[in-house]
Amino acid sequence: MTSIRRYLTRAVMGLVLLGAILSGLAAWLITRHELEEMFDAQLSQFGRIVTGMIDINMDSQDYQALADRLTQPGHAARFYSMEEDDTSGIVMDTHSVNTPQRFREEERLLSLGFWNSDRSPRMLSAEWNDNGPFPPPKETGYRWVTYDSENWRVFSIYDEQHGVWVSTGLREDFQQELVSKILLGNSIPFLLILPLLGFALWWVIRRGLRPIDNLSAEVARRYHQDLTPIEQAPPQELWGLRDSLNAFIERLRMALDRERRFTADAAHELRTPLAGLKIHLDNARASEQDYQSSLDKARQGIERLQRVVDQLLTLARVERSPQRQQDVVDLYPIASQLAGEMWPLASHRQQQLEMSGLSALEVRADPTELGVLLRNLLDNALRYTPDGGTVMLHLDRIQGQPMIQVIDDGPGVPAESLEKITERFHRANQRMTGSGLGLSIVKQLTQRQQATLVIHNREPHGLIVTVTWPPLQPH
């Protein structure tokens, strides 16, 4: 669809034309049926009137006079013999004392005929003598008769008192011509007004779609940093579009704010170890006695800087990567592998890294993201656990929900910092090395996996981080 305006104009005009055609067809069928009933009634009424006017004393001269009156230009009415035993079929007299004329052209479509009781013709009006006598009636009532390549609607009635059949006829052309005139009379005004109707529809549709143009113009006029909501009050049909645009603008504003905050925090977090690294290198150059100590501190600064960069890249990948297809994954092999990989780090500080609970625990998650989540939980716990401490990785299922807990016996987190512990670059213990991004990454990953993250202190000291996944739905 290249243009809503063009589509609506064409569609509405097409529907109008289709409706007009269907209405015309229905009107034609209804009019034809109603006219047929009306003409049938007139034929029967006319036949009854003529039958009622027949006089037993009517002779050949009376029928001849009637034939004279019914003669039309080029079509003579004829009087046949009144004797039932006369089979000669010879016309008695066709001379008319009156000059044939028609007052209306449609008179040629109407006819009248009389037959003797033996169905021999007595008097037939114009049009019913052009190709021999018109077919005689067979019974009282209506019938269709084909005569001289024309169809006639005929009503016949028998007068027993006078022994005569009377038929009144109407040619089919009369009804069709009348129906055509009625439809043509109704169609011509519509066809004349159709261009005006098309222009009116185009103008109405153009005016109706103007709010969309206004909304588009308002969005187009905005400066790229203008992220305020759209205040324009559009028609009711555009409320959803306006609200969707405002919701998108709000999400964009939050994303840009998050990016700005992330950039500022990252710059600050990188500046600190870089400044410390420069100081330690300057001290190593200036003092031979503290040379080794300064190099060791510089190495620690490089390690911290490397960790910050790694976690910044991990967080950026998590936030920007699309949602992956999640599968049913056994958590135990991933957890045991990560525990084995991090064992040297724990052993270097005489820490105990233990696993407990279930030996098989299925969750619905992305395996790669699951590994990043567990690695950050274990790394965070080992860093904040003192030398000789213990970190426990516990796998369990509570009320059908898979759950892992990372339990350490470190210093814990002050109560006022528990709600902020998952924010970026937030470190509850400033004396410990770290970037403050580990739990922020964990929070992002749990949200992507529809899991729940709960952090609380343990007694007498330490921290418990619990991640719970929704229960698996049976197939």
**pLDDT tens digits for 187-222?**
788 778 878 888 888 888 878 777 777 777 777 777
DSSP 365-431: E-HHHHHHHHHHHHHHHHHHSPTT-EEEEEEEEETTEEEEEEEE-S----GGGGGGTTSTT--S-TT
> Is the peptide bond between 460 and the residue preceding it cis, with omega within 30 degrees of 0?
yes
Residue bearing the bigger pLDDT, 246 or 225 = 246
Amino acid residing at 311 = Q
pLDDT digits 0-9 by tens, 272-298 = 567 667 776 777 777 666 667 777 777
88 has pLDDT over 50: no
Q: Mind spelling out the 3-state secondary structure of 82-98?
A: CCCCCCCCCCCECCCCC
434 has pLDDT over 80: no
* Contact (Cβ atoms closer than 8 angstroms) between residue 102 and residue 108: yes
pLDDT digits 0-9 by tens, 108-141 = 888 999 999 888 999 999 889 888 899 999 899 9
CA angle 340, 433, 419 (to 5 degrees): 90
Highest mean pLDDT among 51-55, 187-191, 464-468: 464-468
Query: Cα separation of 163 and 141, whole Å?
Result: 17
329 has pLDDT over 80: yes
Beta bridge partners of 76: none
Highest mean pLDDT among 17-26, 39-48, 223-232, 324-333: 39-48
How much is the pLDDT for 98? Answer: 59
How far is Cα of residue 211 from the mean position of the Cα atoms in its chain?
A: 21
- Give φ, ψ of 155 to 5 degrees: -115, 130
Q: Which CATH number fits domain 222-320: 1.25.10, 1.10.620, 3.30.70, 1.10.287?
A: 1.10.287
Where along the chain do its domains lie? Answer: 23-180, 222-320, 327-468
Residue 455 in tokens: 């952090």
DSSP 4-23: HHHHHHHHHHHHHHHHHHHH
pLDDT band at 62 (very low <50, low <70, confident <90, very high): confident
Tell me which CATH homologous superfamily contains domain 327-468: Histidine kinase-like ATPase, C-terminal domain (3.30.565.10)
How much is the pLDDT for 228? Answer: 80
Beta bridge partners of 278: none
Query: Cα separation of 281 and 301, whole Å?
Result: 11
Query: Cα separation of 169 and 50, whole Å?
Result: 13
- Give φ, ψ of 321 to 5 degrees: -75, 145
Beta bridge partners of 328: 364
342 has pLDDT over 90: no
